[in-house]
Chain A
Amino acid sequence: MEIPRHWRLKQQRYGLVGEVCPHCEAKIFPPRDVCPTCGGEAKTAYAFSGKGEVYSYTTIYEAPTGYDQNAPYTVALVKLQEGPIVTAQLTDLGETPLEIGMPVEMVTRRLRQDGDERGVLVYGYKFRPAGLV
């Protein structure tokens, strides 16, 4: 399903590639072509470090189709070091008690599966507690 769309987003999904505004230096993720800070045109690619902290989090039990087999899972708003906030699942939590402000880092993991024999496996970014080896 939606193969071109998943392909089109590969730089964001795998590399956390956003933009930096050439006018005001604001870092932008996801890329949006018009800088939300100054309104100027922003098309310069910028790869984020993948480091940030938990802004908020929750656990999903009632999940949408394609995600329900992985439920329950934890989803968070992660504030990246460079400024923007992203929505992402948290993974590799183990026994780590979750809390707002916890440092996290990006990893690449499977996001969803369509189930049927022709289904696409969608990979992308998740975040795990920072400093795990």
Chain B
Amino acid sequence: MENEIIIAGIGQTSVGEHWEISLRELGFYAMDAAMQDAGGIRPQALFVGNMLAPNLSNQAHLGALLADFAGLTGIEAALVEAAGASGGAALRQGYLAVKSGMVDAALVVGVEKFTDTIGPDTEAALATASDSDFEATQGLTPTAQAALLMRRYMHEFDVPADGLAGFPLLAHANGTGNPNAMFQKAIKAEAYQKAEMVCDPINLFDMAPHADGAAAVLLTRCDRLPIDYPYPLIRIAASAQATDTLALHDRSDPLFLEAVQISTGKALKQAGISVDQVNFFEYHDSYSIYAALSLEAAGFAPRGKGWELARDGALSLTGRLPCATLGGLKARGNPGGATGVYQTVEAALQLRGLAGRNQVREFRFGMIQSLGGPASTAVTHILERLQS
């Protein structure tokens, strides 16, 4: 029990277009909130999840930048980058640092400042996460890559044109209960059917909006918590990370996300639970198709059937496996390297029982999953509410 790694503090900014707030300020707001939430615990190490600051803000060296700006100069700090999975990967590094005993308390912050750049330069920055020599050089973008997968998926599994609508409908319904979400308005099925095509067959609602945001968690060991710690204890029950080929075209079966399967399998084994015991799942719905493929590779649905879970209501707050419980990437917004930490914060809120009207009914085990590119990196964590 003493050695359990506890998520002692959580913090987040709202997700959106924060024109008036800089990269360093965004990061600091979330860090400060997480440290205060943890009763003022001072971290000895800082792990920063970020994907694109060197491209979008001409700013590298985020470890020193954020430690400095937060008044933590002197502590160990470094960037962890794994494209869209940067936040999940940073969480894992924080977990490993505390678990190893080398560090008593670690602060993990995910931050992304998208709005410093707009248009083709943003598309070029996003494309750096793919295979530069053989994908980006062909003018491929992450959105186009998801569209290639979605078209093939619909072709192979006879999915109707609006078959994936359930994912954005769910996300937007859940976004209404999250004051930090970028979109807090539900959408109707007709809106999906009429939506503008972005990258055929991906329409406006099949992709999560890139936006500014920062989220942070403070990790420490159970025996380091303040005596008057006010919250139920949330431990990291499992932490696993896996890779697949960087380029999508290098896979013998592009429609199966092997890194999702590997990292989920390892995480379930570490936590000592079966997939049926996961009470809710924060999947990486950067595009609807990734939500469907993740549900399949993680073992929640047979191949080609992931989309049916969304269609049939199984993923709603009262369903068999609530997903994207506070809006997911689609409605909360997709702040790149921060998303994995947002998922952590949101799962912790659920497990504390403090998710307001989005509270899931059963909340012992929550699984969160952060993907980089077409799951070239997949990071899976399982959080558990410890019984008092």
Contact = CB atoms under 8 A, between A and B. Distances in A.
B2 to A, nearest CB: 43
Interface stretch (B148-156, B173-181, B342-350, B351-359): B148-156
A70 B120 CA distance: 12
B290 to A, nearest CB: 15
B65 interface: no
A64 B254 contact: no
Nearest to B199: A58
Contacts of B143: 60, 62
Q: Secondary structure at chain B's binding surface: helix, strand, loop or mixed?
A: helix
A85 B141 contact: no
B139 A75 contact: yes
A63 B122 CA distance: 9
Interface in B310-339: none
Interface residues of A, number: 36
Given A9-B133, A36-B250, A77-B249, A60 B139 contact: yes
Contacts of B134: 12, 30, 86-87
B124 interface: yes
A85 B254 contact: yes
B140 interface: yes
Question: How many B residues are at the interface, by size bracket?
Answer: 35 or more
Task: Indicate the member of A64, A84, A86 with the most B CB atoms within 10 Å.
Answer: A64
A67 to B, nearest CB: 4
A56 B151 contact: yes
Task: Indicate the member of B135, B139, B140, B247 with the most A CB atoms within 10 Å.
Answer: B139
Given A89-B139, A100-B155, A111-B139, A63 B123 contact: yes
Interface string A34-49: 0010000000000000
Contacts of A12: 133-134
Contacts of B123: 62-65, 68
B309 interface: no
Interface in B148-166: 148-149, 151-152, 155
B138 A5 contact: no
B121 interface: yes
Contacts of B247: 87
A86 B134 CA distance: 8
A57 B120 contact: no
Contact of A75 (B126, B138, B251): B138
Nearest to A70: B139
B180 to A, nearest CB: 27
A76 B148 contact: yes
Interface in A101-133: 111-112, 122, 124
Contact of B139 (A67, A84, A85, A100): A67
A81 interface: no
A85 B152 contact: no
B187 interface: no
Interface of B: 119-121, 123-124, 126-127, 133-141, 143-144, 147-149, 151-152, 155, 198-202, 245, 247-251, 254
30 contacts: A12-B133, A30-B133, A30-B134, A36-B245, A55-B152, A55-B254, A56-B149, A56-B151, A58-B147, A58-B202, A59-B200, A60-B144, A60-B199, A62-B141, A62-B143, A62-B198, A63-B123, A64-B136, A66-B120, A68-B123, A75-B139, A75-B140, A75-B144, A77-B148, A85-B249, A85-B254, A87-B140, A89-B138, A89-B139, A100-B152
